[in-house]
Amino acid sequence: MVETSNRISGTVEEHELRSVAQLRMLHALATMGRPHRRRRSRVDDLRPSSRYRDPRRRSRPGHRTRGREGETLWLRDIVHIAVDARGRPVVRGLIVDVTEGKRAEQALRRSEQKYSEAFHREREASQRLRALDEMKNTFLEAVSHDLRTPLTSILGSAVTLEQSGMDIPREDAIDLLQRIASNARKLEGLLGDLLDLDRLQRGIITPQRRPIDVGALVRGAVREFEQLGGREIECGSDELIANVDPPKVERIVENLLSNASRHTSPGSRIWARVERREDGLLVIVEDEGDGVPDELKDAIFEPFRQGPGPASTSPGVGVGLSLVARFAELHGGRAWVEDRPGGGASFKVLLAEA
């Protein structure tokens, strides 16, 4: 600590300015290690002055400097203006080494930041675990339903054929065999969706583009769609040659049609078409259902997310729309849903041409 007391004259503001300049000189001498002779004065005769004591006392925030051996020091300047026995103002200045306190403050700040970051990481991890647990429960519920339904049908048809010893009318036998084949294809599609979703998440699927008539591809997907349930599908796609991945585009159309059939009542209409735009091809599938609430228009494209409605009326694993969005991204595009004029939902998929 370096202390000085010097008799000066002038206004109070001038005293303070001179004291700061004097402290800077003392600070330089202290940090350079040079000997400093304290100027003598009648310090013992000083008495506090209410005129200068509170408003004229200054404690400057700590500032950083270098010590004799290059180490970092933190110093604080303290200035106090008083008057001596004759009523003349004098200045008392102190330079206080606050390095240890500053280091402790910095260590405390680092510790607080470290534990704050650890707390945020733990909270985010906990939220991810809860989301994964909910996703797992939803997945198991949906998969168990979608697996049980076709398996029950396959098993029932096979047992009927087994017990009859094939001694049943030909038409009945053909109907049972068609049911077995149809439900087997449903199981194959379900497993294919799950495997494709896993491959997409791992980034091991790349689009295999080639020129093809996308209009004819959409018309073919509509014609072969088996889950009509009395619904009418209107397809208005003209010839459009584009460089796309045909199997992926076909899966997009199939999944959109399947989603529309699950969320509409029998006898309602579904529309499917493809249009050319400046930024690519636009695949559109619309329905006369209840539509999609605004708060779910982004979430329904996430894996294992179900749209509104009970599972009994709209069963599904919840990966169909997620695959639609991922296949669109493979083509450099995107998928979204809008409200259809007149009611229902309008699903749109943009496919950028290579």
Q: What is the DSSP string of 338-350?
A: EEPTTSSEEEEEE
pLDDT, residue 13, reads 36
Backbone angles phi, psi at 2, to 5 degrees: -115, 130
Measure the CA–CA gap between 90 and 170, rounded to whole angstroms.
121
Measure the CA–CA gap between 330 and 332, rounded to whole angstroms.
5
Backbone angles phi, psi at 351, to 5 degrees: -115, 115
pLDDT, residue 317, reads 57
- What are the residue ranges in the chain where pLDDT is below 50? 1-20, 23, 26-27, 29-57, 310-315
170-202 vs 320-330: helix crossing angle, rounded to 10: 50
How many other C-beta atoms lie within 10 A of the C-beta of residue 100?
Answer: 9
pLDDT, residue 211, reads 93
Contact indicator for 308, 290 with CB cutoff of 8 Å: yes
**Residue count (the chain):** 354
Measure the CA–CA gap between 97 and 2, rounded to whole angstroms.
10
Contacts of 103 (CB under 8 A, 6+ apart): 74
Question: All domains of the chain, ordered by start, with CATH?
Answer: 2-97 (no CATH), 127-202 (1.10.287.130), 210-351 (3.30.565.10)
- Going by their DSSP bridges, the two strands 58-59 and 280-287 should be labelled as unpaired
Assigned token pair, 293: 């609430």
Measure the CA–CA gap between 82 and 118, rounded to whole angstroms.
51
pLDDT, residue 22, reads 52
pLDDT, residue 12, reads 36
The DSSP symbol for 182 reads: H
H helix intervals, 203-268: 214-223, 246-262
H helix intervals, 165-208: 170-202
Measure the CA–CA gap between 11 and 164, rounded to whole angstroms.
119
Distances (CA, A) of 23 to 38, 89, 218, 305: 12, 17, 85, 70
